[in-house]
């Protein structure tokens, strides 16, 4: 096995693949912007009959990184080609990052990755972390990749020790480091790993410190290091933990300004293009902090079961009261994000013919529905 740090560097730096595991399904239901449509068409044209990508040989990333990023973007925005999944599955190099990427890609394609999960689990070191391969010292980057892979496969794995390792590996400024890897990239991958498990484990403190670090590296005009792939990497990590604006608009403006006429980024690079497309899509998607609950529901008549017109919904609890605007017709539904840990939901019809009031109390986990 070739050590990760020695094999993946191109032009003196290594590029990362970041997986937006939790927002892909929502993104597919939204219309694509012209910039995303053009970029997606270009990326689709890169897929060859054997599943490789036409320009992967000249990319700033490795072939497997290109393919894995493209697979995630296709799954998010359109459909994942089977031949692309096949070539990812056939990868023989077994460093930890590659192993994790293969698990994620196979899971996205609906294929069995249990054998790979078993191999990955066996690499965990006594300190809870993961290194670049069996017998390698633990580092934050490979540990983060392992956690991302475990989440993607819904694997029964030793998560708590790995998360504990990441907690101890975080620097005082909130950053994470790994050998020969830029701290911005390593920190972004760590945030995605912590985010993936935030609804089951207490990771918000580490996330907040890391997000603060990443935001401190951003500049208004150049975003992150005036690099499309690095900007996309950092933005995908912080997206769910900052307000949509103004960050979303500045990232969007920057990425569009760097897009080539045919739709690609970084001189026809599939890796950068795949990352940029997902970030551009996220720039118009509302954040969904996984450490906060969502209460979503539709108010219906208790006897007929039909949705009611002219309803005002109010949610109160430990957090500030949240009031949804007037729901004008029966096709509307109320969504509160975030919702308090314990809540009281009340709805009232504004129509005089329907002086209906409904009240519901509960404790949401990740989400709750009210009828």
CA distances in angstroms from 303 to 91, 237, 300, 321, 330, listed in the order given: 58, 46, 9, 29, 15
Calpha distance 286→189 (Å, rounded)? 21
For residue 120, the tally of other CB atoms under 10 A from its CB is 24
Q: What is the pLDDT of residue 293?
A: 59
Q: Cβ(105)–Cβ(71) under 8 Å?
A: yes
Which residue, 282, 308, 329, sits at the end of a domain? 282
Answer whether residue 308 is part of any domain. Answer: yes
Is 37 found in the same domain as 145? Answer: yes
Is 114 found in the same domain as 18? Answer: yes
Is 310 found in the same domain as 254? Answer: no
Answer whether residue 310 is part of any domain. Answer: yes
Where does the chain have alpha helices with state H? 4-7, 24-28, 34-45, 63-77, 82-89, 96-108, 114-121, 140-152, 159-169, 183-196, 204-216, 228-238, 247-258, 270-282
Is 188 found in the same domain as 84? Answer: yes
Answer whether residue 231 is part of any domain. Answer: yes
Is 309 found in the same domain as 228? Answer: no
Query: Exposed/middle/buried for 328, CB within 10 Å: 0-12, 13-18, 19+?
Result: exposed
The token pair that represents 323 in the structure block: 């009031």
**Count of domains observed in the chain:** 2
Answer whether residue 218 is part of any domain. Answer: yes
Computed from CA positions of residues 46, 49, 51, 55, in that sequence, does the dihedral angle turn out positive or negative?
Answer: negative
Is 211 found in the same domain as 319? Answer: no
Contacts of residue 199, Cβ cutoff 8 Å, sequence gap at least 6: 290, 291, 365, 366
Is 311 found in the same domain as 263? Answer: no
Q: Spell out the per-residue pLDDT of the chain, length 371, in tens.
A: 333 333 333 333 333 444 444 444 444 446 899 999 999 999 999 999 999 999 999 999 999 999 999 999 999 999 999 999 999 999 999 999 999 999 999 999 999 999 999 999 999 999 999 999 999 999 999 999 999 999 999 999 999 999 999 999 999 999 999 988 889 999 999 999 999 999 999 999 999 999 999 999 999 889 999 999 999 999 999 999 999 999 999 999 999 999 999 999 999 999 999 999 999 999 999 998 887 755 666 677 777 777 777 677 666 665 444 444 444 444 445 555 555 455 555 655 554 334 333 444 444 444 333 34
Is 323 found in the same domain as 240? Answer: no
Which residue, 282, 305, 326, sits at the end of a domain? 282
Is 256 found in the same domain as 312? Answer: no
Answer whether residue 288 is part of any domain. Answer: no
Is 302 found in the same domain as 251? Answer: no
Q: What is the pLDDT of residue 304?
A: 79
Answer whether residue 13 is part of any domain. Answer: yes
Calpha distance 110→104 (Å, rounded)? 10
pTM of the predicted structure, to 2 decimals: 0.76
Q: What is the pLDDT of residue 193?
A: 98
Structural domain for 119, as ranges: 4-282
Which residue, 236, 261, 282, sits at the end of a domain? 282
* CATH number, position 332: 2.60.40.10
Is 243 found in the same domain as 129? Answer: yes
Is 356 found in the same domain as 260? Answer: no
* CATH number, position 18: 1.50.10.20
């Amino acid at each position: 096995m070739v050590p990760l740090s020695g094999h993946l560097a191109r032009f003196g730096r290594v590029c990362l693949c970041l997986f937006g595991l939790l927002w892909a399904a929502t993104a597919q239901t939204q219309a694509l912007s012209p910039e995303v449509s053009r970029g997606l068409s270009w990326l689709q044209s890169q897929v060859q009959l054997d599943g490789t990508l036409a320009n992967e040989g000249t990319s700033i990333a490795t072939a497997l990184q290109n393919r894995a990023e493209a697979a995630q973007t296709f799954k998010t925005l359109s459909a994942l080609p089977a031949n692309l999944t096949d070539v990812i599955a056939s990868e023989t190099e077994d460093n930890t990052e590659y192993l994790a990427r293969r698990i994620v890609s196979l899971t996205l394609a609906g294929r069995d990755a249990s054998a790979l999960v078993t191999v990955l689990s066996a690499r965990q070191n006594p300190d809870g972390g993961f290194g670049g391969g069996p017998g390698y010292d633990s580092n934050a980057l490979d540990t983060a990749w392992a956690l991302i892979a475990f989440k993607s496969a819904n694997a029964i794995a030793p998560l708590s020790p790995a998360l504990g390792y990441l907690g101890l590996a975080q620097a005082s400024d909130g950053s994470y480091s790994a050998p020969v890897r830029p701290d911005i990239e390593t920190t972004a991958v760590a945030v995605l790993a912590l985010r993936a498990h935030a609804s089951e484990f207490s990771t918000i403190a580490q996330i907040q410190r890391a997000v603060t670090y990443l935001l401190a590296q951003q500049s208004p005009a150049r975003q992150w290091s005036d690099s499309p792939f690095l900007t996309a990497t950092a933005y995908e990590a912080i997206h769910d933990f900052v307000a949509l604006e103004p960050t979303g608009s500045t990232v969007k403006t920057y990425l569009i300004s760097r897009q080539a006429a045919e739709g690609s980024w970084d001189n026809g690079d599939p890796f950068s293009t795949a990352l940029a497309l997902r970030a551009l899509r996220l720039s118009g998607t509302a954040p969904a902090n996984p450490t906060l609950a969502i209460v979503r529901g539709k108010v219906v008549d208790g006897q007929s079961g039909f949705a009611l017109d002219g309803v005002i919904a109010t949610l109160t609890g430990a957090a500030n009261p949240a009031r949804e605007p007037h729901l004008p017709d029966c096709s509307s539904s109320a969504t509160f994000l975030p919702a308090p840990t314990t809540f009281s939901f009340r709805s009232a019809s504004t129509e005089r013919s329907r002086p209906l009031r409904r009240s519901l109390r509960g404790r949401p986990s990740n989400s709750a529905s009210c009828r």
